[in-house]
Structure formats: structure tokens, C-alpha cells
Structure 1
């Protein structure tokens, strides 16, 4: 996935007040301090015979004669914009057409995106364009465009300007305010004291009372029948750990469905606790499919209507008339909903739908953590025996007063993060990054659209700078990505190529990239998101993906080559089911593609451990290393975000098939999702960041004691690098050693 270009910050180099750093913000002094960025600007008190008036104050400015999208009104803020300080920007904007319309007015213009951008020239001459904010704007009314600014680098020049519409459309600016952002107090931890975990909030789930509590959504028909499953779906079983037989074999049969959204529904408004994470689970099945054309695969979805919002609670693709397990999650944040409805939908009109054992229950994450700690002890630790001997080789016993102190220096499990070139200019970002991660991935700087935005204009300068930073700190790096299969991630000039020219360009790209960086990147995501796109396959044939893998392997044999995709781990996307991913990987292997790893991006909402574990178990049958490659979680409440992050990291660390985790950023304004950061723009670690650091400390083993009567000191420790001090009455011996993954105990001899 792409990372957004919005700017981001850290701790300011100097004091900042609440004053607006924009001079003459409402044009009271005419056009003083303002200029056109590639266009003219004009001062107005009205337009179109008084139909367009200022929103505030007496005047507004029009950017006219625009010949490109980046043209607009601008102001130089070089002397007033402080580095590593977070600013909030608010612009009041509107569109206008300079073309004369009937009756002396102007012709209407279509609504479009208007952006505020900070153009920066750094002290070393690099040009940067940092997105501040954007909004859909029309010529009908004034609109407020809001965003944030963070300047990482020392600059020679910085200007903020308004841009976006096509050439010929005037952009009107009524006012611009840029002030130091005020920090909101952190939200309190949610109150779950009265929450009863593991209790299904669905009324009459087992249908012992007929259809009581249920109603048909739309003019379909519900009826109760026998012949359904008598056990809970496996993912629910793992959470609930029930010993008895929880289902009675009854199910809801839905007939007379004339729309895809029709199915059984129930209102659950008063049963939900704000911010609690609910696991969703059910058995579903389709009936007669004659009306749909004789057995076409059918989507079945558990959905939630939360006021006007639609939430996906899990979905499955039913390929035949058997029972399928659906698993997912639900969480309601921000405010209590006035109405929450759960319903099951999806199959084509005319296709019968069956539902059994629908469960929606709050997840006991603390209980899950205890379970995962036990799994972690088995998967990520090893027994170690330190044998203390004297110069003569004889064991130094407990009676000899041998004291042992073991301290783990680092955990060898790969834990990495995304970084972008602009981050390098912020020493606070770099300090947090290099202290807390041992792997890296570049957000955009290795992607084809970044290294060759125009045909033949290849530039690896940003990637080189990032690679140098990582190398200086001994960090391994993933290569993301060689190609990107999704159409909207392909640069326009590539789309315009003929088949032969595209084939040549693809060859040039992969040869140029992998030859230049041979041995530098440990992994490559060869062709990103092939479950969700087919640009190169459509243009060059279905074999092109396997060819990309084979060519990459020839050019850099030591690099592990990955598939990489999203939504697989959350079971909410029928295009990206674990089964579809497995089929894709096997298909590539059958074509000779040396697929070396499975990438799960991990952009998860409301993560539920057993759902994620189920996906990992299914993918593990491939026998390939699994990596979470782009993990981020999002919640406006830092405590909920911390819990979500902990779920993802613990599930990954406790599963034997997972060999690494990469976070898709950690610093505010440098994340692809809002409310996902672990460190705010000015460098303050939030609750989610503290949870990360807490887990890193937990996954380091420290041990202290005395050698036993055989001169041995035993402990079980996480894999990684260790330092040991052995103290005797005559002195102290220190040694370093590595605990690698192995089932057999590590025996280490220490002479004193």
C-alpha cells in the first residue's frame, strides 16, 4: 500500500506561540505578502454581480490564468515556519470559472479536489512537496480545507500554496490560518469493568424460541429448520472454550430473496459496550442456486448497520452447498450508536440463504494474552545450560559461590518499520527508529512510480540515502516493491506503452533495480497485491508474474522473493481469502516461480486473535515463511490502539510460521491511516508506542542465580544475543553468546 505524502513533525527547535504565521491572512492589506504560483492573483470584494462575496472580512483573492494544476495563490513562510513543530492549517476556498456565462455570470465548474501544499527547498538543494490537506470544493459555496504541517528538514525556502483544479479554473482563497497545533489531552482508557466476556449478545441464537428476536430484512421469508451444524465454528470455539455441545442443529432458512441485501436481521443496539471488540462468528450456507445460473460462487456477509455506517463483520465465498465458517469483528467507537442492526446478506437474488449459530461476543483479550504467552514460550524460547568449569576442567559447584547473571542484549526476531526520505532529516525520528527496530522498509522510495516517474528519468537518490542510513545502523531492509499489479499504482506513461514497449520497460525496470542493489535487500515484494489487481497480466499475459519472480531470482539469488497482499488476515474480503492466496502461490510455483515468502500486509481493523491465528494456520501449510509486512492499527483512543497493536504483535510472535513483522510507520503524519501513530508529530510516545516498548522489554530474557551442584546454571530464554557475567570468589568472567532457534538445549561452557 502507498504511504500518504502529508508532512509530519517532532519537538520544535524553538518556542512557538499561538499566532498565525501567515501575514495578511484575510487580505486587509491587499495583496501584500501574497504571490501567484505560476499564475496571476487578483483581489476582489465580490464576483458575479455580488453572487460571490467574502466568507470573512472584506476581500478574497482569485488565482487566475492557471495553466496547470499546481498553479495557485501562495505565501513565503520561510522565516516563520519552525522545524519539528506541528502546525494546523485552515484555508477557506472556493472554485470559480473565468469563462463568461450568460447574463454576465460565469460558467459552472465541476467540483474537484483542492489541496494545500508546502513547497520546500532544503538546505542541500532538494525540492520537496508536502501535502498539508485536501477537500472536495465547488463553485457553490466556501469550503474549509484543513490539515497539518510538519517540517523535518532545515530549509532554504518554504512556501504554502493552494492547488488542485484543472487549468482554466480559478481558485478563490478567502483566508489562511497556520498556527502551532494545540495538543488534545489523551483519551481515558475505556471502562470495561461491567463487560461480561464470552457471552453471545445475539438473542435466541439457537432458535429454541422459533424466530423470536429475528426479523426479515426486506420482503423475504424466514423459517426455522433442522439439519444445521451442532458445533460452534472453530474460531469461536477457540475463544469460548466450551466443553458442551453449544448448537442444536437448527438454522434460519431464507427464501424469496429478491435483492442481495435481504436476509435475517436483529437489533443489538443496547447490548454493545463502546470501544469493546466483539468477535463475530457463524455458519452460513446457500441453498438452491438455479436462479443464479446454476451454481455460481456466492458471497455471504455478516454486516452491521451502525446508524448510517456499514461495518463488515466477515464474509466468505460459498462455492457449493455446504456449511461455511464466517469470522470477523465489530467495534463501535466515538459515541453510543442510536441503532445497531446485524444482518446476513450477500447471495444473488433468488438464491436461498441459511444461517446457524450466529455469535457476537466481547473478546477477553487478557485471557488471550495468557494463552499466547504459553505459546510464545514454546515457539520463541530455547533451553540454555551454562556449564561453569575451572581451569582444570572440573565443575565449579554451588558451594564454591558461583553467581551467574544473564542479560539478553537483543532479540533476533525481525521487528521493523517503514521509513521515508523526509524522515531522515528529523534526528528524533531516526533515533527512535534505529533504537527500536532491526529491519526497515521504504514507504515509496523504491517503487517504480517514484524511481522513474517519467520515462527514462530514473533516480535512485532517495533510495540510496535510505539504504545508507540503514546500513550505517546494521539494519536489514525489505525491497518494496519491484512492481505493483494494481492499476491505479501504475504511472501514466507505463499505461500508455504498447505491448512490446511495456515488455521492454518491465525488463529494464527489474534488471536496473536488482542489478544496482544486488545483495542489498534481504527480501523483495516482487509484484505487489496480485489478488487485487491484474495490470501486467492483462497487458503481458498470465505468465508475466512467474517470469518476474524467475528473473528476480536470477539477478539476485540471495534475496527471498515474496508475494504481498492485504485483507487476507482479516477474512473480510472475498478477493483475498487464505484459500485464494494459497491457490495463487501454488499456481506461481507450478510455473516455476521461486516464491520464498508470504507477505500479509496487516492493515487490520478491530483485530481478533483467533481469526488471525486461523489464517496463519491455513497459510502455514505452504511451508513458507510468513511475514506481516505493513502492520498498522487505527483507533482514536490510544488505549484501544495499543490493545490492537498488542493483538497483532503477540499473535505474530506466538505463531511458528511467522518469521518477522514490519510496522507500516509509527510517527504521526507519516502513516497511511489516521489515528495509527505510536509517536506524535513532536516526538511524544503515546499509549500505543509505550505498549510496543513494553512488549520489546518482555521479549528480552534476564536471569540471575547460582550454579547448581553440577556447576550448571539453566534458564529458558528468547532467541537472540546475550551477555553473561559469572562471578566467583576469585574474580569475574564475562562472555557473549547467541541463542538460536532449536529444539535441543544450548550448552555453553564457561571457564573461570
Structure 2
């Protein structure tokens, strides 16, 4: 049964703020916990990882200082410390955030420093992954672990920014801090657990969307003879939104009339699921087969849908075909050049984007075998072969706050490294495969950090895997609203939408028989919300004012003598747009 919006307090910390060790206990037979104090520093303020209440901005504070707890003498990765949550505090189907600061203590790797007449031992700090999770005891006697976030931490402090949601009310629940290797001390400060207010966040996002995606427009109408058109009725309808939404397609899907109808009616762009990948176009060395890719390219061009090229290479070992793995260094280098020349020469000018070397935060196949410089070389060669295409990095988990390998900071570092190698990175792709409940503030924090790289961001492979279709709709709306409200995001691509014709079975918006479910209706509702339609009459000067989303429009003016149509474009600027649309009466 759904809960009323006001049945419990939002934003209230479920872990009592206490000094010292109050509430904390060790996990592990050998683990010992102790209390310490971090002295305040003079560093610049950083954003406190806490939710903003309605009408308020996020609080700011100096870098972490004050009491913290250390778990020492840990014998394994599951050892650490725990803090019980109040009995009955967790409500099913509610999204909770877990935020705070974690770190490791004095993780040192000894290295030899050579110089002068001999060598000296020195310490080099090494990072370790720290995890925060929820241990839940259900009435069936089974204990469950729920991942609530992970970061890569060294001697300092790192923000934890995760979330969880329960399907049933637990008998007991406790937050655990663990994850680093045995022997590494783990520390935690100011950990908070609180329920999020999705509706309040949406109200804030609507205001931000109005500023980012809309513009004041003044249409000035006049008759060809200079006569006034005061009092004439006018309707302004948006034909196309400048912000594109697209979907993944595949060879099987485009044979389904229901899929094709929904895709053509509701999406602006396409991306191929597997048909353009190297293992599809060259499954065996020298045996090229572009038939499936050609079919999808033709489908997109017939229906007027721009396409993203996914992907030229794939950096993860498990997604590289065996014959490529079997090549020696020189043959592999030759094959890489052959792939670039073959693919980009064949489709020059037909793909707007390319994901150049997919998932480099999670894989190093080509860099390990050909050197780190090969990643930038792929970008340089792709730019030479198809100068009009925008070249992207593309990776997963960056928006979720639960993967130490895929933090926004590491993604920005990757982009910077590519640029130092001469690559022109035209866009940052964040895949958006969501399993944990989507939390707007977590997504926004990641997007803000990625935006510092100075490249446009696209959500390239969005799907929300959630068996409960109502919660799926809620989570999908969270991601879409956050992306649409962020000024650095330029487009969103869904990784499919129809049951049985997409990668993940609990993420579809349209049932196999063509029926639109609640998640699909939510998507369509947002698309309607983000399209302008204005009506009224011309003022005494023959002017009509409205605030509209960026895109193309048609204006219909109705006078006593008939109707007239004019098209125009609202582009992205801060100042108001004034257009003279003279019409013959």
C-alpha cells in the first residue's frame, strides 16, 4: 500500500549525532573501534553531502572536522564497524540517502628512492575502496546486505553518497562501514541516513529547468501594408524540442511494427545495440559483415533519425572477440588501424556521434597491449577519418556513487589525459544503467563534477531496472528531470523501451503487446511537459509574448480575413528573443 507523503519526516538523520563512540560497535572478531578528532582546517568550503529542504539550498561547511571513529585490526574486507538504526524507522518503498565522509588510515606502500650514494625507503600512499552498506534482518530469519555506496579513499576523507530502498519493513537494520583490505584501518565521520523528498526536489528542478531550457520570446506581427493586427488571435505550437531524446534499436526490434510506431512517434535519435560493435562487423579476422549495421543505418535515414555510432572499440577484455585477443602487438596495432579505416570510411558523415573506446574506466585491453597512447590515437584517427562526427568517451556507474572505479573525478582525469594526447573529446557519455534507487542529489553532484571537464554530457544508455513498475516510473522521472535541468547535459538516449526487445527485462516502458505501462506514461508525460504551447491575442502593438522551450515553432495568427502560419526558432540565449514576423493580410 502506498504511503501518504506526510506520514514521516523527510531529511531527518536516523543516526543520532553523538560524540565519540556512541552507537558504533566493531564488526569482526579482532576489530577494535576508537574515537578521534579531526581538527578544523582553513581549506575552502565544500558542499556538504546532505539533502536540501524545500526552499533552501544545500548547506556548506569547511572540510571534514570534528569527531570520527576508526576501525582497526580488521582481519578481512567484511570487518569494520556498524551503527544500528532505530527500530521501525525504515519505511518500505521510500528512498533513503546515505551520506557522509569515509577514509582509510595510513595506507602506505614502501618504495625505494634512489639518489646520491644509496637508496632510501619512502612511503607512497595507496588508495583502498571503502564501502557503506545496510545489513537488514527480515522476519524470515535471513540477513541481507544492501550496497549503499563506495568510494576510493586514501589517507584523507572522501564523500560517500549512496542510497537504498526496502520492499518490506525489517526487524532490524544497521549501517556498516567496511570494504578495504585486511589490516587497513577504516574511518568514518558524520554519517547520515535520511528519507528523501522526491516531490520537493521536483519542484526545485522545475524552476531550474525553466532557467536552463526556456527563453522569453516576443513575436512582432504586422500586415504587409503596415496596418496593425491588434486583437488577432494567435497560437504558438512547438514542433521540435532542441533537447533530443533517443533510444537503442536493434535488428529484431525494427521488424516489430509496434516498436517502430512508438519509436518514430516519441524519439528523436537512435543508437544501435550491438550491430556496429567490432565483434558484430568482424566476428572472424578478415570476414567483414556490415549487413545488419547497413540495415539499421538505412532505417534511421528513412525515418529521419540521427544515429550515434556505438562503438568503435570496447576496452573491457570480456567484450573483445577472441581473434583480436590472439593477435601479437604489431598485428593488433594493424587491426586497430584497419577497424578505424574500415568503419569510419564506410559511414563517413552518417553518424553524428561515435563512442570511441567504450568503458575505459572499467577496461584497459588496448592500452595494456599497445600502451596508454593508443587511446588518444583512436580519437585522433577517428577525427581525421570523419571530421564531422563528435567523439565521445562512454562509461557506466558514474551517476550512481557506488563504484570506486567510475567516480566523476576519475572520468574527468581520463578526459584530461586524452586531451594531453591530442584527442578532441567532443562529449562525455554517462550510460545510466540504474539498479539502485535513483536519487536526484547524487546524480546532480556527479553531473556537476563532470561538467568541470568542459565537454557536453549525454546520458547515453538509460534504463531503470525495477520490477515494481510504479517505482520504475518514479526512478525514471528522477533521472530524466535531473538530466533535463542540468545545463551541461545535451541529450538522453534510452537503452531500449519495449518488453522482450531490450537488454534488461525489468526496465521496459511498453509491454510486448504494445500497451504503455506506468513508466512509459511517465516518460510521455514529461515529453509533453517539456513542449511549449501558447495561446492568446496580439496586444495593441501587434506583439505576442511567451516563454518557450528551445526548439522550432509554428505560429498561427487568425484574423477576420483568415489564418496565416509562420515558423521560427527559439535558440539558447540568456537575453529575450524578439522576432519580426510580418504577414500579408
1:253/1:355 contact within 8 Å kept: yes
Matches of residues 122-521 of structure 1 in structure 2 within 5 Å? 194-202=7-15, 204=16, 206-208=17-19, 210-218=20-28, 219-227=30-38, 234-238=48-52, 241=56, 249-268=66-85, 270-289=88-107, 295-306=125-136, 307-319=142-154, 321-333=155-167, 335-393=168-226, 395-397=228-230, 401-521=231-351
Q: Output the CA distance in 2 between the equivalents of 1:298 and 1:540.
A: 27
Task: Tell me by how many angstroms 1:239 deviates.
Answer: 5.6
Q: Output the CA distance in 1 between the equivalents of 2:458 and 2:535.
A: 34
Q: Output the CA distance in 2 between the equivalents of 1:232 and 1:548.
A: 37
Partner residue in 2 for 1:584: 414
Task: Tell me by how many angstroms 1:615 deviates.
Answer: 0.9
Partner residue in 2 for 1:25: none
Q: Output the CA distance in 2 between the equivalents of 1:466 and 1:369.
A: 37
2:129/2:179 contact within 8 Å kept: yes
Task: Tell me by how many angstroms 1:412 deviates.
Answer: 2.0
1:356-381 residue CA offsets vs partner (Å, 9 max, x unmatched): 21111111111111111011001111
SS at structure 2 position matched to 1:236: coil
Q: Output the CA distance in 2 between the equivalents of 1:717 and 1:666.
A: 28
- CA shift in 2, pair 1:282/1:228, >3 Å: farther
2:393/2:428 contact within 8 Å kept: yes
Task: Tell me by how many angstroms 1:393 deviates.
Answer: 3.1
- CA shift in 2, pair 1:558/1:232, >3 Å: closer
1:189/1:640 contact within 8 Å kept: no
Matches of residues 720-735 of structure 1 in structure 2 within 5 Å? 720-735=551-566
**Given the alignment, which residue of 545, 555, 568 partners 1:714?**
545
Gaps of 5+ in 1: 1-187
Partner residue in 1 for 2:139: none
- CA shift in 2, pair 1:541/1:529, >3 Å: same
SS at structure 2 position matched to 1:271: coil
**Given the alignment, which residue of 663, 680, 683 partners 2:494?**
663
Task: Tell me by how many angstroms 1:238 deviates.
Answer: 3.6
Q: In terms of Rg, which structure is larger?
A: 1
Gaps of 5+ in 2: 111-122, 137-141
Task: Tell me by how many angstroms 1:425 deviates.
Answer: 1.1
1:128-148 residue CA offsets vs partner (Å, 9 max, x unmatched): xxxxxxxxxxxxxxxxxxxxx
Task: Tell me by how many angstroms 1:189 deviates.
Answer: 5.2
2:109/2:125 contact within 8 Å kept: no
- CA shift in 2, pair 1:614/1:229, >3 Å: farther
Q: Output the CA distance in 2 between the equivalents of 1:232 and 1:555.
A: 43
Task: Tell me by how many angstroms 1:303 deviates.
Answer: 1.4
Task: Tell me by how many angstroms 1:499 deviates.
Answer: 1.8
When structure 1 is superposed on structure 2, of 534-543 and 192-201 the one drifting more is: 192-201
Task: Tell me by how many angstroms 1:201 deviates.
Answer: 1.9
Q: Output the CA distance in 1 between the equivalents of 2:500 and 2:366.
A: 32
Task: Tell me by how many angstroms 1:396 deviates.
Answer: 3.2
SS at structure 1 position matched to 2:217: strand
1:189/1:639 contact within 8 Å kept: no
- CA shift in 2, pair 1:290/1:594, >3 Å: closer
Higher relative contact order (CA 8 A, sep 6+): 2
SS at structure 1 position matched to 2:419: helix
- CA shift in 2, pair 1:667/1:694, >3 Å: same
1:612-654 residue CA offsets vs partner (Å, 9 max, x unmatched): 1111111111111100000011111111000110011111110
The alignment's C-alpha RMSD in Å is 2.3
Q: Output the CA distance in 1 between the equivalents of 2:555 and 2:124.
A: 69
SS at structure 2 position matched to 1:593: coil
1:306-338 residue CA offsets vs partner (Å, 9 max, x unmatched): 45443221122123x3332110111123x4444
SS at structure 1 position matched to 2:348: coil
1:207/1:251 contact within 8 Å kept: no
**Given the alignment, which residue of 461, 465, 476 partners 1:630?**
461
- CA shift in 2, pair 1:291/1:479, >3 Å: closer
Q: Output the CA distance in 2 between the equivalents of 1:411 and 1:506.
A: 38
TM-score by length of 1: 0.71
Task: Tell me by how many angstroms 1:222 deviates.
Answer: 2.3
Pairing 1:560–2:370 present: no
Partner residue in 2 for 1:123: none
Q: Output the CA distance in 2 between the equivalents of 1:229 and 1:735.
A: 63
- CA shift in 2, pair 1:387/1:631, >3 Å: same
TM-score by length of 2: 0.90
Q: Output the CA distance in 1 between the equivalents of 2:3 and 2:523.
A: 19
**Given the alignment, which residue of 639, 646, 649 partners 2:480?**
649
1:158-217 residue CA offsets vs partner (Å, 9 max, x unmatched): xxxxxxxxxxxxxxxxxxxxxxxxxxxxxx756655232111222x2x214x53433211
- CA shift in 2, pair 1:538/1:248, >3 Å: closer
- CA shift in 2, pair 1:229/1:435, >3 Å: farther
2:233/2:537 contact within 8 Å kept: yes
Q: Output the CA distance in 1 between the equivalents of 2:81 and 2:350.
A: 55
- CA shift in 2, pair 1:468/1:245, >3 Å: closer
2:234/2:535 contact within 8 Å kept: yes
- CA shift in 2, pair 1:290/1:416, >3 Å: closer
